[in-house]
């Protein structure tokens, strides 16, 4: 909403404040003033000129040499506008003027002819092209005959005005009119407001004798008022009216249309003007359209209508799409002499739906959508009639043609001062509350210690007691509210164990060298299930914005790979990222997808890189595996973790494992398939993804202290040659089982394949630690236990011992 | 014999002097004092001397042996010192060479902001509540006083899955769910999480972003409690000198509704480009829980009141760290993320 402060002054006197102070007060009271526009843009040396003569420039086809009277002085000005002509009154920017676009006007020579200034269009004075009357849209602006050369053109055009740009919240539709703004400013400044006085002399002829009205859809149109004005002369509006409309962001057309728009902005009540004769039938019928019915709207578009859309008809065919746009067939034109003014209440939902369906939002439809003031419908029609009599020479017929089933009684709200103060944490006296209601012009009585308020229908946002608390607080001032802290039945607060574990997981992964990524939950159908631990029907959006983000992800890895490719392409070649977040699987009984929290990670490039010491090491499977093991150790689950070789789509078949927690598969780990790496422009890249939720919900044993050993332990190393396919885990299991209770620790410390080892075999070495918490072990004890281990390895794993 | 001895001593002394390493010195010791050395030979040869000369000569040999031993020790100490000195010189390093980096990862900047806010409220006795990212229309809108057909819930603005299910557009449904689940009991929660809106991604919009909201419900919760709480939060996030101001605003689920501004942390309120010359920066929206919302969740709004507030960690992070484009939070450029390494007390 653009509020001209000149126009506002007609209704409320705010001039003891600076405009900045006014804007600040309005903002603090609840309507945000986004900006202040000075329509003069600080311009100077802009005067009215009279074109005494205008001849073609001898050297240039498109230029004219004009002798312009700029007030007691004749100036030669060269003008290139197509519509320049002798005898016009025009806007002249004299030397020294600076136009809003930054252009400085100086004396100049154009093709050898002197030019002392510039004849201006409205656009050159900073008025948006879409607001300039069509007649002058392509050239200079021509002023009426009754102006005086040398006067300030800015004054004449009403440009010494400043506009407040309101950013209205959706509830404050009352401020979508100048009167509404006046009530608000009046309340803020404790000032009375001046409403327009409506008076005109009506003709003896009665409106209802020349026009019949029937409303067949009262639920969508509970009130309709029509007035008839005869002998109208359609013409350009007086300058002040055009200026006022342009200041409000509306393009002037002709006096009849301009008057309806003026009243729209003044009262917030949209009006429509029909050409009475073009209606042909002397009748208005409001009804729902017939399915498939067609009409051509003002913008010359033929529209096919639906049976829930409300139309105004002449009894035969639609002449307007109610509240949204008029029809081309009944439009007011230069030849119009009799006008029907329509002022109505159209149901907000109906207008909203129709305007959305036909894709038209206008100043009118937005106001109907919010609900106009029922008590201004009739008054606005009278105001328009008055202005048509005054400005278009019309003769207003007596009375109106009216259909009215609209409830116009004000809501009553009863409020106790304690209710207000208990909710604000303040002690405002009842009298002060009453004063605030007076400022808002909300009729209020004090009855039995309560405020009894009749809410004017112009304030449709005030419905419940809390709305009134806000009115009181905002005008009393939010700065007056003290600062206290809530007193609630005390709870300890804090993270749940699950949330605390999530933080442990994040901190651990960061300590391990991975940074946290944050990627999108929406994925392309192609990626949604890639690398997924578990797949279920994919959840799709009804109206995606792109294929790329059209379904919910079932795995995080593809997103981390995208991030990795992005980084690698920017020469960040060593990447270590992780993410915790939800994946979305199928549909549960309650209709929502199953959301499962996962953790995923990606590694590529170098893991150790200490340049000047020449130490660099590429990431490999075991770096990622070590990270996973460490994670389980952090969560007290290391003993229950296992890896088995696995085949996963898009993963390297020889370098991928399933991650097991007890007998539950909780994740995957491995290298991305070289083909996929290549497609994604990646070098060797390792990933893992695990069901974090399962892992974190697994109960762990209490952490208990184990005695620090008092007796020494004894270590023995074993070197074995086994089949290449024998897994380390298998050997370890055999050793653990055979070692008995004295065997405390088994550690693989060497692995070798190649020269000196028979093909198809590998050499593996373990270090075994024996220990008895009760005594010092003897050699005999160890030899006994150790030989069992060696036997078991020979028998069960077909291992050859190496000396 | 006596002369022989003195000659020998002279010889040894010379050899000791000529020794430059501990090893050479040791060789001298073995050569002269060892079992096969000349002094041992001399002692052995004493038997051939007349008996009366033996004690005198014996004493002389011992004297020479002792003095040679003493000089050897002295020399040895010097040489050892020299050796250590040399070793230290050889081991000297350039201490200005770069250290071996400790490769730590770090939080995403949004997690950093969210955890800071969570921890602040945890210290004030709040719990952290979470809920699904795919929500029922009921919890996302209806239970929050946004009935079907309400203009604020345009299909165009939300990602619907079906007519009744959508990606949550704010974290407020967690509030609605918590209120419903608490069955009339008091509440003090913070709800962080991802939310989704049907916006094209640009410098200030992201179709996925994060929110963090707070809700307190109980008997006698007042707007002054909201103001006091937000004041402490503003000081925690943006510095102890911050002032706050509340401006009336509108949200369907609160009444009265306010927006909170903080005094500009860059210029302190005199006006700069961060605060658009106003001295104030808009940080969050808040209000008293709308009676309809309380009622739908089973509270009696005549007896129980509440306040709620919500903010965008992206906006906070952009202000705090001077980030100019919201897309940085989602491209995961390591050059961006790794800037949030430093810990802050
Ligand atoms: Zn500032």
Grade residue A490 by pLDDT with cuts at 50, 70 and 90: low
> Which residue in A380, A376, A377, A371 sits closest to A462, CA to CA?
A371
Which residues, at least 6 apart from A689, have a Cβ–Cβ distance to it below 8 Å? Answer: A531, A533, A555, A556, A557, A598, A599, A600, A601, A667, A668
Tell me if B78 is assigned to some domain: yes
**Cβ–Cβ below 8 Å for B132 and A592:** yes
Task: Tell me the chain B residues in contact with residue A566 when contact means C-beta distances shorter than 8 Å.
Answer: 331-333
For A26, A181, B151, B197, B249, the CA distances from A31, given in Å and listed in that order, are 6, 10, 19, 25, 8
- Decide if A671 contacts A652 (C-beta within 8 A): yes
Q: Does B257 touch chain A (CB under 8 A)?
A: yes
State the count of interchain CB pairs (< 8 A) between A and B: 245
Grade residue A493 by pLDDT with cuts at 50, 70 and 90: confident
Tell me if B104 is assigned to some domain: no
Task: Using CB atoms within 10 Å of the CB of residue B335, give its burial: 0 to 12 exposed, 13 to 18 middle, 19+ buried.
Answer: exposed
Tell me if B103 is assigned to some domain: no
The reply to whether B62 and B203 lie within a common domain is no
Residue A368 clears pLDDT 70, i.e. is over it: yes
CA angle B65, B69, B71 (to 5 degrees): 120
The reply to whether B300 and B270 lie within a common domain is yes
> How much is the average pLDDT of A138-152?
94
* DSSP bridge pairs for A721: A763, A800
> How much is the average pLDDT of A366-389?
96
| Helical axes B313-321 vs B223-238, angle rounded to 10° | 40
Q: How far is A573 from chain B (nearest CA, A)?
A: 10
Residue B119 CA to ligand 1 center (angstroms) comes to 28
Q: How far apart are CA B37 and CA B64, in angstroms?
A: 14
What does the pLDDT read at residue A313? 96
Q: How far is A636 from chain B (nearest CA, A)?
A: 22
Query: From the list A479, A493, A610, which residue is nearest B125 (CB)?
Result: A493
Instruction: Write out the two tokens for B151.
Output: 């203009």
Q: For residue range A692-703, what is the model confidence (pLDDT) as tens digits?
A: 999 999 988 777
Task: Tell me the chain A residues in contact with residue B290 when contact means C-beta distances shorter than 8 Å.
Answer: 466
- Decide if B56 contacts B92 (C-beta within 8 A): no
Counted domains in chain B: 2
Residue B47 clears pLDDT 80, i.e. is over it: no
Which residues, at least 6 apart from A740, have a Cβ–Cβ distance to it below 8 Å? Answer: A785, A788
Which residue do the tokens 């991030």 mark? A563
> How much is the average pLDDT of A278-288?
96
Residue A173 clears pLDDT 70, i.e. is over it: yes
- Decide if A793 contacts A743 (C-beta within 8 A): no
Q: How far apart are CA B296 and CA B180, in angstroms?
A: 8
Burial state string for B247-262 with b = 16 or more CB within 10 A and e = fewer than 16: bbbbbbbbbbbbbbbb
Which residue do the tokens 């609630």 mark? A488
DSSP state of A29: T
**Cβ–Cβ below 8 Å for A489 and B186:** yes
> How much is the average pLDDT of B96-113?
90
> Which residue in A659, A706, A707, A727 sits closest to A687, CA to CA?
A659
Q: Per mean pLDDT, which range of A262-266, A792-796, B21-25 is the poorest? A: B21-25
**Cβ–Cβ below 8 Å for A566 and B208:** no
The reply to whether B78 and B119 lie within a common domain is no
DSSP notation for A421-475: HHHHT----HHHHHHHHHHTT--EEEETTEEEEEE-TT-TT--SHHHHHHHHHHH
Residue A780 clears pLDDT 70, i.e. is over it: yes
For A272, phi then psi, to 5°, come to -135, 145
Which residues, at least 6 apart from A569, have a Cβ–Cβ distance to it below 8 Å? Answer: A681
- Decide if A267 contacts A177 (C-beta within 8 A): yes
The reply to whether B124 and B259 lie within a common domain is yes
Q: How far apart are CA B289 and CA A466, in angstroms?
A: 10
Query: From the list A466, A514, A581, which residue is nearest B288 (CB)?
Result: A466
Q: How far is B335 from chain A (nearest CA, A)?
A: 8
Q: Does B148 touch chain A (CB under 8 A)?
A: no
B40-69 residues touching A, CB cutoff 8 A: none
User: Quick one: which H or E segment has residue B12?
Assistant: helix B2-18
Residue A392 clears pLDDT 80, i.e. is over it: yes
Q: What is the mean pLDDT of chain B?
A: 91
The reply to whether B184 and B309 lie within a common domain is yes
The reply to whether B163 and B278 lie within a common domain is yes
Q: Does B228 touch chain A (CB under 8 A)?
A: yes
Domain range enclosing B242: 109-340
Query: From the list B152, B188, B225, which residue is nearest A484 (CB)?
Result: B225
| Helical axes A178-189 vs A255-267, angle rounded to 10° | 30
Instruction: Write out the two tokens for A419.
Output: 């209710």
**Cβ–Cβ below 8 Å for A515 and B105:** yes
Residue B42 clears pLDDT 80, i.e. is over it: no
DSSP state of A104: B
The reply to whether B198 and B320 lie within a common domain is yes
CA angle B161, B167, B168 (to 5 degrees): 140
Residue B263 CA to ligand 1 center (angstroms) comes to 8
Grade residue A803 by pLDDT with cuts at 50, 70 and 90: low
Task: Tell me the chain B residues in contact with residue A563 when contact means C-beta distances shorter than 8 Å.
Answer: 331-332
Q: How far is B292 from chain A (nearest CA, A)?
A: 10
**Cβ–Cβ below 8 Å for A595 and B134:** yes
Residue A465 clears pLDDT 80, i.e. is over it: yes
> A212-215 and A283-288 as β-strands: parallel, antiparallel, unpaired?
parallel
For A59, phi then psi, to 5°, come to -100, -5
Tell me if B312 is assigned to some domain: yes
The reply to whether B72 and B170 lie within a common domain is no
Count of Cβ atoms closer than 10 Å to residue A293 Cβ: 17
**SS3 call for B313:** helix
> Which residue in A471, A473, A477 sits closest to A442, CA to CA?
A471
Last residue of a domain, one of B91, B125, B141: B91
Query: From the list B105, B149, B152, which residue is nearest A349 (CB)?
Result: B149
DSSP state of A175: G
- Alpha carbon A271 to its chain centroid, in Å, reads 31
Q: How far apart are CA A4 and CA A38, in angstroms?
A: 10
Tell me if B99 is assigned to some domain: no
Q: How far apart are CA B261 and CA B243, in angstroms?
A: 8
Q: Give the CA diameter of chain A.
A: 132
What does the pLDDT read at residue B55? 83
Last residue of a domain, one of B91, B121, B154: B91
Q: How far apart are CA A714 and CA A768, in angstroms?
A: 8
Q: How far apart are CA A568 and CA A682, in angstroms?
A: 7
**Cβ–Cβ below 8 Å for A516 and B107:** yes
Testing the interface with A: which of B191, B224, B275 to mutate, by most A Cβ within 10 A? B224
The reply to whether B17 and B154 lie within a common domain is no
Which residue do the tokens 């906070």 mark? B316
> Which residue in A774, A791, A801, A782 sits closest to A737, CA to CA?
A791
Last residue of a domain, one of B91, B120, B152: B91
Task: Tell me the chain A residues in contact with residue B232 when contact means C-beta distances shorter than 8 Å.
Answer: 485
DSSP notation for B240-257: TT--EEEEEEEETTEEEE
* DSSP bridge pairs for A659: A643, A667
- Decide if A372 contacts A222 (C-beta within 8 A): no
Grade residue A754 by pLDDT with cuts at 50, 70 and 90: confident
Grade residue A648 by pLDDT with cuts at 50, 70 and 90: very high
Q: Does B121 touch chain A (CB under 8 A)?
A: yes
Residue B155 clears pLDDT 70, i.e. is over it: no
Residue A610 clears pLDDT 80, i.e. is over it: no
Q: How far apart are CA A259 and CA A242, in angstroms?
A: 10
> How much is the average pLDDT of B200-213?
96
Testing the interface with B: which of A466, A474, A506, A591 to mutate, by most B Cβ within 10 A? A466
Count of Cβ atoms closer than 10 Å to residue A241 Cβ: 18
Which residues have a beta carbon within 5 Å of ligand 1, which is an ion? Answer: B 264, 266-267, 272, 274-275
Q: What is the pTM of this model?
A: 0.88
The reply to whether B40 and B14 lie within a common domain is yes
The reply to whether B53 and B124 lie within a common domain is no
> Any idea what the CATH number is for the domain that residue B330 is in?
3.30.930.10
**SS3 call for A148:** coil
Domains annotated for chain A, with CATH where assigned, are 2-36+164-189 (3.30.56.10), 46-156 (2.40.50.140), 203-404 (3.50.40.10), 415-479 (3.30.56.10), 497-697 (3.30.930.10), 714-802 (3.30.70.380)
Tell me if B97 is assigned to some domain: no
Q: For residue range A110-141, what is the model confidence (pLDDT) as tens digits?
A: 888 999 999 999 999 999 999 999 999 999 99
- Cis bond before residue A89 (omega within 30° of 0): no
Which residue do the tokens 């913008």 mark? A299
> Which residue in A224, A85, A239 sits closest to A151, CA to CA?
A239
Tell me if B102 is assigned to some domain: no
- Decide if A140 contacts A77 (C-beta within 8 A): no
Which residues, at least 6 apart from A69, have a Cβ–Cβ distance to it below 8 Å? Answer: A49, A50, A52, A149, A150
Ramachandran category for residue A614: left, alpha or beta (phi over 0 → left; psi -120 to 50 → alpha): left
Express as a percent the part of chain A with pLDDT over 90.
90
For A33, phi then psi, to 5°, come to -90, 110
- Decide if B327 contacts B302 (C-beta within 8 A): no
Count of Cβ atoms closer than 10 Å to residue A387 Cβ: 25
Tell me if B164 is assigned to some domain: yes
Task: Using CB atoms within 10 Å of the CB of residue A120, give its burial: 0 to 12 exposed, 13 to 18 middle, 19+ buried.
Answer: buried
**Cβ–Cβ below 8 Å for A613 and B188:** no
The reply to whether B250 and B190 lie within a common domain is yes
- Decide if A551 contacts A525 (C-beta within 8 A): yes
Q: What is the mean pLDDT of chain A?
A: 94
Which residue do the tokens 């960690």 mark? B313
Q: Does B222 touch chain A (CB under 8 A)?
A: yes
Q: How far apart are the first and last CA of chain A?
A: 92
Report, in angstroms and rounded to the nearest whole number, the Rg of chain B calculated over CA atoms.
43
ipTM: 0.88
Express as a percent the part of chain A with pLDDT over 70.
100
């Amino acid at each position: 909403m653009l509020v001209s402060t000149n126009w506002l002054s007609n209704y409320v006197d705010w001039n003891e404040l600076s405009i900045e102070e006014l804007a600040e007060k309005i903002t603090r009271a609840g309507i945000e003033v986004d900006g202040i526009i000075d329509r003069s843009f600080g311009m100077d040396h802009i005067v009215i000129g009279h074109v005494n003569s205008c001849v073609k420039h001898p050297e240039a086809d498109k230029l004219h040499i004009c002798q312009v009277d700029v007030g007691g002085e004749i100036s030669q000005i060269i003008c290139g506008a197509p519509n320049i002509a002798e005898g016009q009154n025009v806007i002249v920017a004299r030397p020294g003027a600076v136009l809003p676009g930054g252009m400085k006007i100086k004396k100049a020579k154009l093709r050898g002819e002197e030019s002392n200034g510039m004849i201006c269009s409205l656009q050159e004075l900073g008025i948006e092209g879409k607001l300039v009357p069509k007649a002058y849209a392509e050239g200079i602006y021509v002023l009426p005959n009754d102006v005086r050369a040398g006067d300030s053109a800015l004054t004449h055009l009403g440009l010494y005005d400043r506009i407040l740009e309101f950013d209205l919240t959706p509830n404050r539709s009352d401020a979508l009119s100048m009167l509404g703004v006046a009530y608000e400013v009046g309340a803020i400044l404790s000032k009375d407001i001046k409403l327009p006085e409506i008076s005109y002399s009506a003709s003896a002829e009665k409106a209802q004798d020349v026009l019949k009205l029937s409303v067949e859809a009262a639920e969508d149109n509970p009130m309709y008022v029509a007035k008839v004005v005869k002998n109208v002369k359609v013409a350009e509006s007086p300058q002040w009216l055009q200026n006022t409309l342009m200041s409000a962001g509306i393009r002037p057309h002709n006096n009849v249309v301009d008057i309806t728009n003026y009243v729209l902005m003044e009262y917030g009540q949209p009006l429509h003007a029909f050409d009475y004769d073009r209606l042909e039938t002397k009748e208005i019928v409001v009804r729902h359209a017939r399915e498939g019915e067609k009409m051509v709207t003002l913008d010359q578009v033929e529209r096919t209508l639906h049976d829930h859309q409300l139309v105004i008809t002449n009894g035969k065919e639609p002449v307007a799409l109610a509240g949204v746009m008029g029809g081309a067939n009944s439009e007011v034109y230069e030849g119009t002499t009799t006008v029907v003014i329509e002022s109505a209440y159209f149901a907000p939902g109906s207008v909203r739906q129709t305007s959305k369906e036909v894709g038209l939002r206008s100043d009118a439809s937005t106001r109907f959508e919010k609900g106009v003031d029922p008590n201004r419908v009739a008054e606005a029609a009278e105001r328009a009639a008055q202005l048509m009599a005054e400005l278009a020479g019309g003769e207003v017929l007596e009375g109106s043609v009216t259909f009215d089933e609209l409830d116009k009684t004000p809501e009553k709200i009863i409020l106790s001062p304690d209710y207000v103060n208990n909710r604000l944490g303040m002690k405002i006296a009842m009298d002060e509350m009453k004063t605030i209601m007076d400022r808002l012009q909300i009729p209020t009585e004090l009855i039995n210690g309560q405020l009894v308020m009749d809410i004017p229908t112009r304030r449709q946002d005030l419905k419940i007691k809390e709305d009134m608390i806000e009115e009181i607080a905002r005008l009393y001032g939010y700065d007056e509210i003290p600062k206290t802290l809530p007193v609630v039945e005390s709870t300890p607060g804090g993270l749940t164990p699950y949330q605390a574990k999530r933080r442990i997981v994040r901190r651990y992964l960061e300590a391990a060298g991975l940074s946290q990524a944050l990627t999108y939950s929406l994925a392309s159908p192609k990626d949604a299930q890639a690398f997924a631990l578990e797949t279920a029907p994919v959840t799709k959006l009804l109206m995606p914005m792109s294929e790329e983000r059209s379904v919910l992800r079932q795995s995080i890895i593809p997103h981390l790979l995208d991030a990795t490719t992005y980084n690698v392409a920017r020469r960040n070649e060593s990447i270590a990222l992780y993410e915790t977040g939800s994946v979305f699987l199928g549909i549960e009984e309650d209709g929502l997808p199953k959301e499962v929290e996962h953790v995923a990670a990606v590694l590529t490039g170098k893991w150790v890189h200490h340049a000047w010491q020449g130490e660099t090491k590429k990431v490999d499977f075991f770096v990622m595996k070590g990270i996973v093991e460490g994670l389980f150790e952090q969560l007290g689950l290391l003993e229950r973790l296992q890896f088995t070789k696995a085949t996963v789509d898009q993963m390297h078949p020889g370098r991928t494992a399933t991650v097991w927690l007890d007998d539950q598969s909780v994740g995957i780990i491995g290298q991305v398939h070289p083909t996929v790496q290549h497609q994604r422009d990646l070098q060797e890249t390792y990933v893992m993804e695990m069901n974090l939720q399962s892992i974190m919900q697994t109960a762990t044993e209490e952490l208990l202290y184990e005695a620090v050993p008092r007796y020494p332990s004894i270590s023995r190393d074993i070197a074995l040659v086994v089949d290449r396919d024998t897994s380390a885990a298998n050997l370890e299991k055999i050793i653990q089982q055979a070692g008995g209770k004295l065997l405390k620790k088994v550690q693989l410390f060497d692995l070798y394949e190649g020269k000196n080892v028979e093909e198809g075999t590998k050499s593996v070495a373990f270090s075994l630690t024996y220990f008895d918490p009760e005594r010092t072990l003897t050699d005999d004890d160890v030899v006994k236990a150790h030989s069992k281990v060696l036997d078991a390895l020979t028998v069960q794993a077909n291992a050859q011992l190496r000396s | 014999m006596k002369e022989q001895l003195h000659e020998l001593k002279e010889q040894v002394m010379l050899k000791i002097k000529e020794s430059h390493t501990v090893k050479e010195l040791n060789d001298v010791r073995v050569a002269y004092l060892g079992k096969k050395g000349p002094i041992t030979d001399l002692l052995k040869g004493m038997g051939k001397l007349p008996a009366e000369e033996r004690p005198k000569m014996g004493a002389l040999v011992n004297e020479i042996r002792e003095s040679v031993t003493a000089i050897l020790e002295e020399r040895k100490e010097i040489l050892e010192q020299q050796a250590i000195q040399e070793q230290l010189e050889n081991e000297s390093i350039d201490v200005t060479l770069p250290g071996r980096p400790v490769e730590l990862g770090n939080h995403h900047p949004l997690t950093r902001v969210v955890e800071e806010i969570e921890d602040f409220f945890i210290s004030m006795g709040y719990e952290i509540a979470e809920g699904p990212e795919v929500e029922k229309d009921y919890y996302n809108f209806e239970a929050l006083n946004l009935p079907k057909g309400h203009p604020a819930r345009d299909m165009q603005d939300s990602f619907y899955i079906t007519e009744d299910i959508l990606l949550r557009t704010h974290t407020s449904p967690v509030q609605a769910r918590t209120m419903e689940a608490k069955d009339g009991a008091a509440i003090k929660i913070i709800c962080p999480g991802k939310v989704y809106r049907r916006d094209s991604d640009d410098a200030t919009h992201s179709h996925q972003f994060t929110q963090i909201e707070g809700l307190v419900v109980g008997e006698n919760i007042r707007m002054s409690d909201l103001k006091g709480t937000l004041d402490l939060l503003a000081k925690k996030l943006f510095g102890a000198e911050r002032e706050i101001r509340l401006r009336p605003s509108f949200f369907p689920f609160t009444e009265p509704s306010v927006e909170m501004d903080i005094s500009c942390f860059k210029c302190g309120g005199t006006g700069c480009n961060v605060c658009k010359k106003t001295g104030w920066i808009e940080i969050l929206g808040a209000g008293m829980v709308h009676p309809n919302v309380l009622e739908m969740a089973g509270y009696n709004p005549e007896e129980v009141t509440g306040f709620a507030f919500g903010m965008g960690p992206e906006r906070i992070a952009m202000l705090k760290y001077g980030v100019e484009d919201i897309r940085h939070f989602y491209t995961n450029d390591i050059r961006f993320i790794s800037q949030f390494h430093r810990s802050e007390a």
